[in-house]
Amino acid sequence: MEPRANFRSFADRMEAEKSEHTALFFESLNGKWDFLFLEAPEYSPEDFYKTSCSTDKWDKIEVPGNWQRQGYGDMHYSDLWYNFPIIPPFVPTANPTGIYRRTFNLDTVQEDQQYILRFQGVDSAFEVYLNDQFVGYSKGARIQSEFDLSDLLTTGTNTLTVRVFQWSDGTYLEDQDMWWLSGIFRDVDLFTRPKEGLYDFTIQTLLNKNFTSATLIVNPVFTELADQKIVYELLDKDGNKVVEEEKNGRESLVKTITEPHKWSAESPYLYQLLMTVKKDGKVVEVINQKVGFRQIEVQGNCFLVNGVAIKLKGVNRHDYSPTTGRVTTKESIEKDIVLMKQHNINAIRTAHYPNSPYFYDLCDEYGMYVIDETDLECHGFELTEDYKWLSDNPEWEEAHVNRIKRTIQRDKNHPSIIMWSLGNESSFGYNFRKMAEYAKKTDPTRLVHYEGDFEVEVSDVYSTMYTWLEREDDKLTMDKVITNTKKPHILCEYGHAMGNGPGNLKEYQDLFYQHDHIQGGFIWEWFDHGIESVSEEGEVYYQYGGDFGDDPNNGNFCIDGMLLPDRTPSTSLIEYKKVIEPIETKVIDSVSGFYQLTNRLDFNTLADYQLICQFYEDDRLIEERNETIPETLARKSSTIRICYPEVVFKSGALYTVRFVYQLKNTAAWAQKGFEVTRSVFVWHKEKPLAETNKTNTSEIKVREQQAFVTVEGDQFSFRFDKVKGKLLEAYYNKEKVIEKGPEMNFWRAPIDNDMYLLEDYKNKYFMHLPHESVREVQCETKENTFEMRVSAYYGTTNSAWYYDLDYKYVIDSSGQISFSIDGIASGRKLLAPPMLPRLGVSLQIAKDFDTVSWRGLGPLENYSDSRQAAYLGVFTNSVDDLFVNYVKPQENGNHMECDWVGLTKENNALLVKTNNTFDYSVSRYEAIDLEKAKHTIDLKKRDYVVLNIDTCQNGLGSNSCGQDQLDKYRCKFEDFSLQFTIALEEIAQKNIAEIAREN
């Protein structure tokens, strides 16, 4: 059938308003189907489509479903490659094929009704047979296909057969970055529409220059014109009639609405349009369509929604489930959108194909700007040295244009869609010009998007991917885009959320805010595409490319989302939520309590939010109060003054104020009181008292041997290796507390965003192979204090660059260790790497010290270029819970700006303190464990806790696909200094924060 909008017919107005089917026939054909899986279509039984063909030996399969997730065929993930030779339009003889069959019953077949069989998604091509007859054939795996069954149906039992081919010539246009999955994976419906009813309709809304009135245009389409009348009723949210008018079926409705409520992602106001089709005074059908009044246009180098150059705070979203593959439900899609709204996201690019119709209904309802992307990608042709092979070949024009046509015709009535995207990563040429031509002629009310249109020949926006903020070569950077673009700019992909990362999100967002024509972007991407699996021990983990013997594959490149496969928000999603927060708070004068609030919304005031101010002394809540948010228009700032509580400041304590912004009223996506963002500031930090005399002192005894030295007191014992200049172990009250003392370390388990650094890291700089050359060790005891000084060089295999190190250990009569390390960057410094993974020391602590408290940035992991969601405070968590369970294990769990960290066991705490600040992380795994593990089930816990204390750690960047670490966030080969003390403290009477404030 000709493509058309997705809608339903109802028997009367009451049923239309309820959107429930009663009188008209509608049946979902989802469920169990008979299934025969074959290596190629030529192996099909000759009578496979006939009712006489026995299915007794066939299997059962779930529809919707991907057959690879139900035990048929092979799982395969690739980002780039086709799984067969590129000889378009030909595909391999080995072409896995699934034959689906089911029956359904009809009590009657009504002559005045058209019976439609609708498929929302079948990968990649399929044939339909009904009652021994061929019905039709369709390509376009993720686009709606409808078939007219009216002439082939019978009363009683009807037999439906669908033969699905994994590969077709359409596959050449469907090389998206995702798992190759096949079969009927979206809903299948059988329903009727009156033959004299509406076949299709197009709704447009045009706003005047002042946006004070709007013109509603409805263009109806009938297949059988027979003097039908259409009664149009436009109802507001409260059911009040705004419009009521009857028109001849041949005419369009053109109606002016004064002062309409406008639709935007911030205020997704929807009207109901009831269209009652009548013939000879009788109701033929009633259609209920939601309408949103909004206008999209380009002025100068900005695109506007309702007159405002909006900022897209978006994500790219695939259909995905860790268990069912590409099968999603309305409920799962709604969960996605609710979660996005809760994280301040306002836009979605449907990468890289149209989604289920549910998706657009929900985006209309909840408020999401949508770039609706055509099911088209030819990425593998990039490797043929003829990227334009298909895109510039007129023989493939219809194949290209048909896809954008079906996308637009199905989705055209959704206000959430602001752009039609022609596809993704398919070069550019004749066929894209024709696609754009069709889009602009068919729907001039929306913009055309295509990132592959590098010269912006047909695109209404200049779209780029992963454009860097800074780089040393001459390639495109954001400053060049800002200066040179004549059209609005968006980043259709940036911030590659693979593993631990991305970094630099704030820098991008700052640019978006600084320039009207730089209008935001879409993080790649929403969901990790891990496949849920269970180990022999019953532990759930997630597989990725290569785990199924698939070759070639792109490994864990599909694990690149802000949601972990179990739907847990990753740190990157929490960070993004903060970066795109609706209310930005900055200090004007913290002493007197003046702060600036900036409304980062495009339309709304801050009237929907309430402000709770919480005042903390370290981890103790002193006071909490509601504050009045000043009236602040969209994109404007205001000033607020906060009165601090009257408190007696305690020595060494940190006093912070938390601005917690919550929903004032319940919204569609969250309850009243939901936290949309928070900002935390230090309003006072009291100096610690001078050190007091300690009571738990004892006489130090030192026993030296040829290679070792032991330092003892009544309650402690330390053993050093004088050859290596290292603390070997530490006992308190005869219990081993430190398994191994501080050792210099500049290696971290590689994160995914380090992937392009590893070749140099390992094979040029050998940074994973450090060596220490101890030059001198001096031990001295005086005034009941032991001191050991160590001089050493620290470098890597075959390196001529190195650190000249000075260590110092001081043990006093209470058993406290003062440790310092000073490093001078030395040797052939020009040969050193531009970045070090980290710079600090690593210790091993007894495994029972399994609770961690710290004063610094928390509560989640944070890094120099990913720390906006973190804030200063005192936090407590377990060692196990601080581990971030990335699908592919890697460096995780860092916390910056700490002045103390304590590991506790029962009533004892091993307290590490500094007069400056350090980064810390704890783990039950060494870096080598994380580096070698492919999956979380490969990790085996050590018999100790690894404690890393760093003076710096390299930023995260986004260089698995995008910007590497910005210069200011790089851990460089430079001089450094790190000092801290280690002491065992009893915490039975005081909490660890109180003890940490002492001395």
| Residues assigned a catalytic role | 425, 493
Helix 357-366 to helix 330-342 angle, to the nearest 10 degrees?
30
CB atoms within 10 A of CB 219: 13
Main-chain dihedrals φ then ψ at residue 805, nearest 5 degrees: -105, 145
Main-chain dihedrals φ then ψ at residue 475, nearest 5 degrees: -70, 170
Q: Report the alpha-carbon distance of residue 478 to residue 966 in Å, rounded.
A: 13
Enumerate residues 6+ apart whose C-beta is below 8 A from 557. 77, 79, 177, 498, 544, 545, 960
Alpha helices in 807-922 (DSSP H): 879-882
Main-chain dihedrals φ then ψ at residue 133, nearest 5 degrees: -115, 140
Q: Report the alpha-carbon distance of residue 183 to residue 69 in Å, rounded.
A: 10
Q: Report the alpha-carbon distance of residue 307 to residue 298 in Å, rounded.
A: 9
Q: Report the alpha-carbon distance of residue 337 to residue 668 in Å, rounded.
A: 11
Q: Are 765 and 828 in contact (CB under 8 A)?
A: no
Q: How many residues does the chain have?
A: 999
Could you tell me the two tokens for 695?
């009571």
Lookup result for tokens 């192979």:
769
Q: Is the peptide bond before 415 cis (omega within 30 degrees of 0)?
A: no
Listed residue (820, 892, 897) closest to 854, CA to CA: 897
In angstroms, the Cα distances linking 701 to 697, 714, 732, 863 are 12, 9, 15, 42
CB atoms within 10 A of CB 155: 10
Residue 511 CA to chain centroid, in angstroms?
20
Listed residue (858, 872, 313) closest to 562, CA to CA: 313
CA dihedral 87, 91, 94, 97 (to 10 degrees): 170
CA 274, 280, 281, 284 dihedral sign is negative
Could you tell me the two tokens for 409?
């015709």
Q: Furthest-apart CA pair in the chain: how many Å?
A: 111
CB atoms within 10 A of CB 768: 19
One-letter identity of residue 524: W
Q: Report the alpha-carbon distance of residue 405 to residue 920 in Å, rounded.
A: 55
Q: Report the alpha-carbon distance of residue 992 to residue 652 in Å, rounded.
A: 13
Give me the residues paired with residue 304 across strands: 297
CA 134, 136, 141, 143 dihedral sign is negative
Q: Report the alpha-carbon distance of residue 825 to residue 804 in Å, rounded.
A: 7
Could you tell me the two tokens for 715?
């309650």
Q: Report the alpha-carbon distance of residue 370 to residue 363 in Å, rounded.
A: 8
Give me the residues paired with residue 194 across strands: 113
Q: Is the peptide bond before 373 cis (omega within 30 degrees of 0)?
A: no
For the chain, the first-to-last Cα distance in angstroms comes to: 81
What 3-state class would DSSP assign to 489? strand
Q: Which helix (H) or strand (E) holds 688?
A: none
Q: Report the alpha-carbon distance of residue 901 to residue 855 in Å, rounded.
A: 7
Q: Are 683 and 656 in contact (CB under 8 A)?
A: yes
- Give, in degrees to the nearest 5, the angle at Cα 279 between 246 and 256: 15
Q: Is the peptide bond before 859 cis (omega within 30 degrees of 0)?
A: yes
Burial class (CB in 10 A: 0-12, 13-18, 19+), 394: exposed
